[in-house]
Structure 1
Amino acid sequence: MKRVFVTVGTTRFDELVERVTSEETVQALVDRGYTELVLQVGHGSDVPGPESYSGLKVNAFRFKDSISEDMKQADLVISHAGAGSCLEALGAQKALLVVVNDKLMDNHQLELARQLHSDSHLLYCTCSTLTETLKTMDFSTLTPFLPGQPQNFAKFLDKALGVASQC
C-alpha cells in the first residue's frame, strides 16, 4: 500500500484540501500507485469523511498530539509551506511536495520552499499546479536533508565566549 500524507499544520488551507481530494488530483495519485490518502486539515472548514475516491482510501483528522507517525508511514508527504512541517518531513527522510499558499500576502512560505528546492531537498507548487506537478514529479533528483549539528554551534559559542570545555 502506498500512502500519501497531507498536512496543513495548525493553519486553515481549505484550497489545498479541496484540490487534493478533487477528481483530477485523486486520479493523478492513483496513476502513480498511491492507494491511501491521510489528510490533516487543521482549522479547515471541512473534514472529509472516511471514504474512497476512485480507488484511493481517504481518512482525515483535524489535529493530533503528534503527526510524526503519520509522516513515518507515508511514502509521500504533501505539506503546506510551514517551516515546522517541512523540517519534520525532511527530517523523516520523506519525499516532500510543498504546496505554497499563493493567497498569502508577503509570502515567506514561498521563500522557504524556493530555498529548499534550490538546495534539491523538495519539490514545490501551488494549488493550481498541484495536479500537474503530481503527474510529472521526479523525486530521484533530490538529495537527502541532513540533520543539523547543534553541537557545532555550541562549540563555536564556547570558543567565542572563552568558555573552556569540561570534558
Structure 2
Amino acid sequence: MGVVMNEKQLELLRLIEKNGRIDHQTLADMLALEVNQVKEMLTALEQQAVILGYSTLIDWTKVLNTELVTAMIEVKVTPIRGKGFDHVAERIYRFKEVKALYLMSGAYDLSITVEAKTMMEVSRFVSDKLSPLDSVVSTVTHFILKKYKHDGVIFDPPEDDDRRMMVSP
C-alpha cells in the first residue's frame, strides 16, 4: 500500500533521487528545515520502505576488465492459479543474475534485465535456469550493445558542444 506524503517529504525524495549524496545540512537548507527534521524524515521513509536503498551510477565501460554483458529478456509465462504472476516473478528475481524484473503489458509478460561476465553465461542462465521453470512458455533475449542514457544520465555526452555556425571563405 502507498504512503501519503506531505510536500516536504515529496521534495526531499525528489532531491535525493537525483543525488543521494547530498548531505543532511544542505538538504535542510534546501527544504527550509532543521537538520534533525531531515534525518527523522529520512529514517521514517527508510523504515516505511519508501526509500529502498542508495546507489551510484557507474559507467563500467571506462574501468578496465570490469565490463559485464547486459541482456534484456522478454518472457511469456503462464500465471499460477490463485497466485498470479507474483509467484513466478519471485522465483525469477531470486536468481543472482537478475538485476531487474518487471511485469509488462503487451506481447510478453515479464521483462528481465540480466548481467553476466559473458554472453555464454547469459545463455546458460536462460537455458539452465529460466526456461526450465514450469510457468515459462517462451523467452526472447536482447543483448545491450551500448548505453546512451540510464536513470536520466547521458553516457558519453558529445565533447564538442560548439554550436556556432561554421563559416567558410
TM-score by length of 2: 0.21
TM-score by length of 1: 0.22
**Greater C-alpha radius of gyration:** 2
